[in-house]
Structure 1
Amino acid sequence: MSEPEFNFADALREVAQARNINELALIQAFEESLAQAYTRNVEPDKRIEVHLDPASGELEVLVVREVVEVIEDEHLQISLADALELDSGVELGMEMEFPVDREKFSRIALQAAKQTLTQKMRETERNVVFNEYKDREGQVLTAQVVRSDNKGNWFVELGAGEAILPPREQIPGEKLTPGNRVKIYLKEVRKTPKGPTILASRADERLLDYLLRQEIPEVANGIVEIKAISREAGQRSKVAVFSHNSNVDPIGACIGHRGNRIQAVTGELGRERVDVILWDANLRDFIRNALSPAKVGLIEVLPDRQEATVTVTPDQLSLAIGKGGQNVRLAAKLTGFKIDLRETAAISDLDAAMQQALQDEQEGRDGDVAQSAFDALFKDSKSVAVATPEDIGEQ
């Protein structure tokens, strides 16, 4: 075919650049689309090949025919005599390519090719988006809020793709506005018949972990380690930290001067309250710290059952439970232990039992006295709140 009036290669190149698609892959899709459309609408049951020169833009459509001794079907095969006129080296059984007359390009074929190419372009774009963001699962990205739907979902623009923030992954009470830029945790990327679905989250605890690393140098360089996080998005979170340097206070490092570091974190989360507590290898001390700001009493730990029973005096009961049970729920999630809070009014007996337990532990005794005191306290106590590590996910 002669030089085309319209340069398909240049047009496809512009489309590939605009949509971030591989140019050669798009040209191949164009060739396949045109061949399928031409076969279906112009010469059914023929073997058609289409070639587009990326450099010159020259488009060539060929029909492949087999050389036979006698013409059996003028549309499918060509005689040896006619073939020899074109190429002296032709032999029986060989296949030859013959250009198609441009007049045979019908509008129907071109329209069908356009439709097929559009579909292939969409598939290619979807694969590009899937491959780009599948590798970025688990990362925190900055996205632009674009729109919402009547189901309460928000959609954010990531650049090459759009992610969905379903209600369960949003910060309750947070007002998102189209055009605003927010940080999101890229939770999952999966393929669907309608293209890739990118699931984003602002409620995931790993977003909080990222923000802490961004705002606190001691966390970023590993001096302060984040041991555990429990979170009820938009309301309250607990973060357990530990310092690998005895000269660095992990809680002070996270809070910063006049709270400037932790405020930078909470500011990104809609002023969500973040409690920073000290992690401890001793389970009793860790559970005690996790229940702060409440001051609790004696703690009985059953490691094999991942359960802990905690005594609490009436004046500390509301703090230990928290609003709607939030404090004890977060503590259970943070420590990984089911926590059973038990109220006791025997403050003096409780203090004595605690002191005895600490003394027995320090001196390496079996702690029979402390256990007896503990049992005595629980004889008249009652369970007032029970929380498990799974409770947060049910809220």
Structure 2
Amino acid sequence: MSKEVLSVVEIMSNEKGVDEEIIFDAIETALAMATVKNYDDKYDVRVEINRHTGDYKTFRRWLVIEDDVAIEGEPEMFLRMMDATDIDPHIQPDEYIEEEIESIEFGRIGAQTAKQIIIQKVREAERRKMVEDYQPRVGEILTGQVKRIDRGDVILDMGDNVDAIIPRSELVGRETFRMGDRVRAFLQAVDFRPRGPQLFMSRACKEMLIELFKIEVPEIGDDLIDVMAAARDVGFRAKIAVRANDPRLDPIGACVGMRGGRVQAVTNELNGERIDIIQWDANDAQFVINAMAPAEITSIMVDEDRHEMDLAVEDEQLSLAIGKGGQNIRLASELTGWELNVMSKTAMQEKHNTEASKQIDLFVAHLEVDEELAEVLVNEGFTTLEEVAYVPTAEMLEIDGFDEDLVNELKQRAKDALLTLAIVNEEKTALAEPADDLLALEGMTVDLAKTLAGQGVVTQEDLAELGTDELLELVSLPEQAAAELIMKARAPWFE
């Protein structure tokens, strides 16, 4: 029988390509199950096969438990410490007492039971091996053959009995495949499912676009060109930002290729998706200007605090800058990471004039200066009383016509005005009474409600109409907490 055991292990290991130890474990489990059926279903049995000779021994075993522990399950499988120490004085709880019993012959075990266990063990080993083989390849583009279409999802045969799935949502536009078609996709994850590990792939992610360029443009693979960012409107248009590590190299030209061959190869793979190749720039404003191509930006205003930029274009280029359905501005925003607002040159000038007028009125009212001086401050970039009060004196002295006496006077008036406004706000906060629905809102405190009421946010509806950034300007809260508070205030809208 020992030769028969070794023969089965060798044959199964070679056929399935799995480690012999896994086959040994499967046979031990099968022999143990057959032994239990042969003796008593209440036995706990362990079989041990000698890996070199194929001989095996069978043991009945009992789990050792404390004397006062209640037995759950079959009492015949447990042994209390008082009895176990009579057999082995050194035994400890949760260890096993074993007694060798007669082994059944390998040829007498139920063939079906042994077969099922071995097949199960082999499948588990194959699944583990698949994970080990494919986990390091997550992030690569792989090729498979269409095996079937399941409710729009494409199932690929990757070879060696390995299947991958491209969910319908991860396909490019309206592309369709037929049985046997060869398909390239980006491996996103290897995951375990009830029927074993599964490869999850995508053709719609931006990583697919980046990896295709790495394949088509050797300079990227050689680290002469870096892909800095990418954005996609899947199936329609994409933008990819690149930079050259060698100043003598044109990164856009290299990615376009001779007669557009390289970028065209990527476009063809993505079912005709149009691709804009953008020159990356360390200067955020210049990067945004590049990303807005083909529209030409005439002026740009940057708001660092809000992480926003206002872009102005010639009136006749407004529709081009926005793009069909807002496509161009949306992709440029995703590519650069900035919130972008595009408007015509006329509208930008009107907005600038309106904001400048408000700032001039602010300085006239609180600094007690004439409009001409207030306009000089605005033109020099001052927008708030805080800036006038706390910008270094040396910087203000650089303004044409400003001397030290004038600068000191303006700074003192700004500080006095800020103090007065703070006192007024404190009085408003102390006098303001928040509405009952604002006080009753989950997560709201009395102090927070009074602070909001002092800022004019009196009711739950007032709070619901605020954006997260607007709320953070009024009170000091973590951004996540502010967003959750606003969503709770908006709950009645959805009801």
- Give the aligned partner of residue 120 of structure 1: 121
Checking the alignment, whether the CA contact within 8 Å between 2:191 and 2:198 is kept in structure 1 is yes
Q: Structure 1's 320 and 186: CA in aligned 2 closer, same or farther, altered over 3 A? A: same
Alpha carbons of 1:65 and 1:245: their partners in 2 closer, same or farther (altered >3 Å)?
closer
- Secondary structure of 1:304's counterpart equals coil
In structure 2, how many angstroms separate the alpha carbons of the residues matched to 1:45 and 1:260? 73
Q: TM-score w.r.t. structure 2 length?
A: 0.58
Alignment partner, residue 148 of structure 1: 149
CA distance, structure 1, for counterparts of residue 132 and residue 377 of structure 2: 59
Question: In structure 2, how many angstroms separate the alpha carbons of the residues matched to 1:255 and 1:50?
Answer: 66
Matched AA of 1:199: F
- Assess if the C-alpha contact under 8 Å between 2:5 and 2:106 holds in 1: no
Alignment-derived partner of residue 240 in structure 2: 239
Provide the alpha-carbon RMSD of the alignment: 3.4
Q: In structure 1, the residue corresponding to 2:137 is in which secondary structure?
A: coil
| d(CA) in 2 for partners of 1:157, 1:103 | 38
Matched residues in 2 for 1:371 and 1:134: separation?
54
Q: Does the alignment pair 1:32 with 2:29?
A: yes
- Supply the distance in 1 between the matched residues of 2:332 and 2:61 (Cα, whole angstroms): 77
Count the aligned residue pairs: 326
Give the residue type in structure 1 aligned to 2:173.
P
In the TM superposition, residue 309 of structure 1 has moved relative to its aligned partner by 0.9
User: Helix, strand or coil for the counterpart of 1:305?
Assistant: coil
SS of corresponding position for 1:158: strand
Unaligned runs of 5+ in 1: 67-91, 354-365, 373-395
CA change 1:326–1:9 in 2 (3 A) is farther
Q: Deviations over 1:301-360 (max 9, x none)?
A: 11232211111233212211112211111100001011111124489x89xx9xxxxxxx
**1:184/1:11 Cα in 2 relative to 1: closer, same or farther (>3 Å)?**
farther
1:301 and 1:308 in contact (8 A); partners too: yes
Mapped partners of 1:145, 1:249: distance in 2: 39
1:121-174 residue CA offsets vs partner (Å, 9 max, x unmatched): 332222222233233322222222211112x11111233421211112111122
1:367/1:31 CA distance change after superposition, 3 Å: farther
**CA separation of 1:118 and 1:320: change in aligned 2, threshold 3 A:** same
Corresponding residue of 1:339: 340
Alignment of 1:51-70 (within 5 A): 60=56, 62=58
Q: 1:324 to 1:178 in 2, by over 3 A?
A: same
Note if contact 2:26-2:118 (Cα within 8 Å) is conserved in structure 1. yes
1:82 paired residue number: none
Deviations 1:160-217 (A, max 9, x none): 4212111121111222222222222111122234322321111111121111112112
Higher relative contact order (CA 8 A, sep 6+): 1
Shift of 1:60: 4.5
Amino acid at match of 1:227: M
Match of 2:14 among 9, 12, 17: 17
Secondary structure of residue in 2 paired with 1:297: strand
Aligned to 1:277: 278
Shift of 1:48: 4.2
**Contact 1:34 1:113 (8 Å CA) reproduced:** yes
CA shift in 2, pair 1:328/1:41, >3 Å: farther
Residue 258 of structure 1 aligns with an amino acid whose one-letter code is R
Matched AA of 2:235: G
Match of 2:328 in 1: 327
- Map 1:129-278 to 2 at 5 A: 129-150=130-151, 152-160=152-160, 161-278=162-279
Gaps of 5+ in 2: 63-86, 89-96, 354-375, 383-495
- Give the Å deviation of 1:292: 0.7
Superposed displacement of residue 251, structure 1: 0.8
SS in 2 for 1:234: coil
Tell me if the contact between 2:240 and 2:278 (Cα under 8 Å) persists in the aligned partners. Answer: yes
Question: What is the rounded CA distance, in whole Å, between the counterparts of 1:65 and 1:210 in structure 2?
Answer: 57
Q: Which is worse superposed, 43-52 or 250-259?
A: 43-52
Looking at structure 2, the residues matched to 268 and 102 of structure 1 have their Cα atoms a distance apart, in angstroms, of 60
CA distance in 2, matches of 1:101, 1:230: 66
C-alpha contact 1:311 1:343 (8 A) present in aligned 2: yes
Inter-CA distance 101–271: structure 2 relative to 1 (3 Å threshold): closer
For 2:263 and 2:37, locate their aligned partners in 1 and report how far apart those are by CA, in whole Å: 66
Using the TM superposition, give the Cα deviation of residue 98 of structure 1 relative to its aligned residue in structure 2, in angstroms: 5.1
Give the number of the structure whose residues are more often helix, by fraction: 2
- Indicate if the aligned counterparts of 1:310 and 1:339 stay in contact, CA closer than 8 A: yes
> Do the aligned residues in 1 keep the contact of 2:22 with 2:121 (CA within 8 Å)?
no
Letter in 1 for 2:155: F
Deviation sequence 1:261-280 (CA, Å, 0-9, x none):
11122222222211101111
SS at match of 2:209: helix
Tell me how far apart the structure 1 counterparts of residues 131 and 316 of structure 2 sit (CA, whole Å).
55
Structure 2 matches for 1:306-317, cutoff 5 A?
Answer: 306-317=307-318
How has the CA–CA distance of structure 1 residues 371 and 255 changed in structure 2, closer, same or farther, with 3 Å as cutoff?
farther
Cα distance, 1:9–1:314 mapped onto 2, change above 3 Å? farther
Give, as a single letter, the amino acid of the residue that structure 1 aligns with 2:308: E
Quick one: distance in 1 between partners of 2:341 and 2:27? 67
Whole-angstrom distance in 1 between the partners of 2:377 and 2:246: 33
Moved more, 251-260 or 111-120: 111-120
Structure 2 counterparts to residues 275-314 of structure 1, below 5 A: 275-314=276-315
Counterpart Cα distance in 2 of 1:240 and 1:266: 16
Contact 1:311–1:341 (Cα < 8 Å) also in 2: yes
Alpha-carbon distance between aligned partners in 2 of 1:279 and 1:63, rounded to the nearest angstrom: 70
The one-letter code of the counterpart of 2:306 is R
Q: More deviation in 121-130 or 257-266?
A: 121-130
| Bigger Cα displacement from structure 2, 46-55 vs 329-338 | 46-55
**Counterparts of 1:65 and 1:339 in 2: how far apart (Å)?**
72
Q: What SS does the aligned partner of 1:262 have? A: helix
Shift of 1:18: 3.7
The 1:227/1:105 distance shift into structure 2, 3 A limit, reads same
Contact 1:239 1:275 in 2 (8 A): yes
